[in-house]
Structure 1
Amino acid sequence: MIRDLRICFVGDSFVAGVGDPEHLGWTGRLAADSERAGLPLTRYVLGVRRQTSAEVAARWAAECTPRLAGGAWEPRVVLSVGVNDTAHEDGVPRLAPDRSVAALTGMLDRAAAAGWPVLVVGPPPVADDAHTERTAALDDRFAQVCAEHAVPHVPVVGHLAGNPTWMREVAAGDGAHPGAAGYAALADLVRPHWTAWLAGRTPQR
């Protein structure tokens, strides 16, 4: 029997795939991989530009519920937030780290109550080194929250900061978003975790 997977990808502009001329982003590439592997799924992309984790937390359940609840299908959620939290406005982060952690915690708690398995993909780097350092520090806290909730977490900020393709495309663009090759590199990092998550396994790091 073919699984009826329905997956909401929730987050910010990186989830939306902003900057990718192929309009796939990393989420479309992963969904296409699964399709080729004989695992079709319905992909709902719920990424909003400039939103912090608190703003995502305020809307995500209302958007996911009509897409995931009330049927015999298999509902799942992929979350990716954080870059906008650590962006500075007037010299301070747009969202304090404690509020970011609280937002993620609340989303994981609500997903667990709904019976929706979650995969968390960490925030990626941008061209500004100081911004990326703040993002990496926040993602360390996100990883701890995920561990406490037994939710898989995929760290990408360090890997992509050392990836010349990602950093080159980010610098050539708006300073935050890559092009097609950069998103392909992000998809490559997430892929083993994605595959294991769909199969109910824990990948080797």
Structure 2
Amino acid sequence: MQLLFIGDSLTSGVSDSERLGWAGRICKQLDPQGAKLTAYNLGVRASTTAHIESRWEKEAADRINPEAPVLLIFCMGAPDAVKDIPFGQSKVCAESILHNAKSNYATVFITPPPMIDEEKDKRTENLSAEFIKICSKLDIPCLDINSPLRENPAYIKALKESDGVHPNAEGYGIMAGVISKFISPYILPHLS
């Protein structure tokens, strides 16, 4: 099975001293020997939805083997909030990305996590709500990590011990635990 994790610095695992991020931890958990999953982390630092829209299709096509099952896992939006990208632009780009992805591949979406800065965090919360609506409209499975992580004291502590946007290793572990429960049903049937 092929997994493509597509997103920004939170997808690539910036500030994780273990260099696994949430994506690496999930792969390690689901395929401890590393023999059944082919995983590509296409997280790019500061990658807004517009940047992801411009790059994801080529990056995916260059990696996907059409003979094996594939799952695209998108997690994006945090750089849009940090850079104060116009809300409408983020919506249009996200809908285009997800529409095109679902037309060609099994696709799931994960909302951006919360941040410490109140203004940026409010933007991620609003983006998350909009992305959830887009996924519902397109019938794409969507996991809201924004709300539950905001209520998780250990995750907030992990953010505060890092840069306020990216968690430390413990925080990525918390993210992986939440996300793994959501995506495992799409992966495990292909690993037996």
- TM-score over 0.5 (shorter chain): yes
Structure with more contact order per residue of length (Cα contacts < 8 Å, sep ≥ 6): 2
Indicate the residue corresponding to 2:161 in structure 1: 172
Indicate the residue corresponding to 1:75 in structure 2: 70
Indicate the residue corresponding to 2:50 in structure 1: 54
Indicate the residue corresponding to 2:60 in structure 1: 64
Q: 1:8 to 1:30 in 2, by over 3 A?
A: same
Indicate the residue corresponding to 1:203 in structure 2: none
Please state if 1:10 is matched with 2:12. Answer: no
Q: Matched residue of 1:68: which SS?
A: coil
Aligned length: 189
Indicate the residue corresponding to 1:152 in structure 2: 141
Displacement of 1:39 in angstroms is 8.2
Indicate the residue corresponding to 2:28 in structure 1: 32
Q: 1:113 pairs with 95, 103, 106, which one?
A: 103
CA–CA distance in 1 between the matches of 2:107 and 2:35? 18
Indicate the residue corresponding to 1:190 in structure 2: 179
Q: Deviations over 1:4-43 (max 9, x none)?
A: x111100000000011111111001111121149982111
Displacement of 1:77 in angstroms is 0.6
Please state if 1:23 is matched with 2:13. Answer: no
Contact 1:119 1:197 in 2 (8 A): no
Q: 1:38 to 1:150 in 2, by over 3 A?
A: farther
State the TM-score, normalizing by the size of structure 1: 0.86
Q: 1:123 pairs with 112, 126, 129, which one?
A: 112
Displacement of 1:100 in angstroms is 1.1
For structure 1, list consecutive stretches of 5 or more residues without a partner in the other structure.
201-205
State the TM-score, normalizing by the size of structure 2: 0.92
- Identity rate of aligned residues, in percent? 28
For structure 2, list consecutive stretches of 5 or more residues without a partner in the other structure.
none
